[in-house]
Amino acid sequence: MGRLWWCYFLLTLLINLFELRICKREQVVTPPLPILPLPTYSQLKWQQREIIMFLHFGVNTFTDREWGNGRENPQIFNPSDLDAGQWASVAAEAGVSLMILTAKHHDGFCLWPSKYTDHSVVKSPWKEGKGDVVQEFVNAASAKGIDVGLYLSPWDRHDKRYGNDFNYNEYYLAQLQELLNKYGGVREIWFDGAKDPKTKNVTYYFTEWFSMVRELQGSINIFSDAGPDVRWVGNEKGYAGDTCWSLINRSSLSIGNPNITHYLNTGDPRGTDWVPAECDVSIRKGWFWHKSESPRRLSELLDIYYNSVGRNCVLLINVPPNTNGLISDTDAHRLKEFRAAINTIFHNNLAQNCDVQVSSQRGGEEGGFGPENMLDSDHLGSYWAPSDEQEIREHWIEIRGRLRFNVVRIQEAIGLGQRIQRHEIYVDGRLMMQGTTVGYKRLHRVDGGEVEANVVRIRITKSRGLPLVSSIGLHFDPFWHSRFGMP
């Protein structure tokens, strides 16, 4: 009995020791816990698009107006060479993966043959009333592998039901269902809060509309002043706040409220909801095409890029088709230049072949969270994480090499929450730049046009929990450089 017991005891001990060894050897360092709120899958997809194209097109294109009054004769809608394939080609060449079309603007004229009104393409001479711009748009986008979004103006200056809340909301919802049922997958739906200033008592049933959108389109992002998925940035200049959180309190937002533009512009470090901002701006002065206007200069577009995409937002750039139904050559050309410039600037990461050191790393050298993760092409899943030991207070990244650059890029692993609240950039020991939030992408342009250095240190001085950095880059922007009169 005693011998048997000893055998059993020794065997158990051996098995336990063996298992302990295996476990120890295979113990992989876990990822850190996320910090809420987090983005949804669709919000992450949206963020990675960086640039989205808006197309304002309708009766205003033919009346040379920005806001129609609803009394336009549908006979004026007659684009001579409408070619949605050209729109999609322009978008594809600009590296755009989502296009949003104004299916209906405030004037109430529908670009598709809605069965709930005859104030539409049906009454126009275009294709003898048998055309459907929304369908052509969707087909052309699909042929180029581009996703589609739609704008359906809540304010309708044509329909007589406007002002009678119950009937009008039924009408609006009917058209929303029509659009979201008939044209396949829609990735973004765009709502604004514009109302007739003389009929202020009109109520839009946003709760019902949003619920219906969710029911009909599973992977859509809903844009409005107040989200729920994407929020307005608070201006139409294409500029986000210098501080820009994807976090905000939805309970503090309401659609069409002019008092919240600053809050929308910066977000809220204590926000309970993930509602990142989209920066809408037109390539021209107006949203609709006007003969008298021309596209912005490349330098202006680059400023917009740095202040939107470079501040944790997505840029929604409007490129309006003209009376021929085509994007003007000047605009197509400018957009192509814009994409080429972005590629020139960011194609080459000067930090790529440098020695990159960090203050600490989660799980030590073998933990899998080292600085190399900031130089790979995965900007969400792989990231540098500092050690979570209490005594470690300093968080920094150091890049060493012979460096000549004028742009610093920092990206957070936002899938685990937006964290960084303050950061500083030292060049050869001298504080050169500082900023607050980082988020999906933060870009800093160097004052004075360029800098030469041996050591660049990025210090993260304040953060919600530990900072997690998914990518860093040092770049050379020749367009910025030349603005300082440099060769």
Residues near ligand NAG, by CB under 6 A: 163, 165, 199, 201, 249, 252, 257, 259, 268, 270-272
Alpha-carbon dihedral 311, 313, 315, 316, rounded to 10 degrees: -150
- Nearest approach, Cβ of residue 281 and ligand NAG (Å): 24
170-193 core/surface letters (b: 16 or more CB in 10 A; e: else): ebbeebbbbbbeebeebbbbbbbb
Residue 318, C-beta contacts closer than 8 angstroms, at least 6 positions apart: 53, 54, 55, 56, 280, 281, 282, 283, 284, 287
Cα 291 from chain centroid?
Answer: 30
- Contact criterion met (CB below 8 Å) for 357 and 370: no
Reduced DSSP (H G I as helix, E B as strand, rest coil) percent helix, strand, coil of the chain, to 5: 30, 20, 45
The C-alpha angle 226, 231, 236, rounded to 5 degrees, equals 115
Q: Which of 439, 435, 100 is nearest to 274 (CA)?
A: 439
- β-strand partners of 120: 110
Residue 184 beta carbon to ligand NAG: minimum distance, rounded to whole angstroms: 35
Shorter beta-carbon distance to ligand NAG: residue 201 or 207: 201
CB nearer ligand NAG, residue 20 or residue 36: 36
Minimum distance of ligand NAG from residue 266's CB (angstroms):
10
Rounded to a whole number of angstroms, the minimum distance from the CB of residue 426 to ligand NAG is 32
Closest CB to ligand NAG among residues 411, 463: 463
- Shortest spacing between CB 201 and ligand NAG, in angstroms: 4
Beta carbon nearer to ligand NAG, 87 or 209: 209
Report d(CA 420, CA 458) in Å as an integer. 12
We find the least distance from the C-beta atom of residue 203 to ligand NAG, in angstroms, to be 7
Three-state DSSP class for residue 208: helix
Q: Which one, 233 or 351, has the nearer CB to ligand NAG?
A: 233
Q: How many CB atoms lie within 10 A of CB 34?
A: 15
Distances (CA, A) of 418 to 33, 38, 47, 361, 377: 13, 8, 13, 19, 20
Q: How far is the CB of 257 from ligand NAG (least distance, A)?
A: 4
Q: Of 163 and 184, which CB lies nearer to ligand NAG in the complex structure?
A: 163
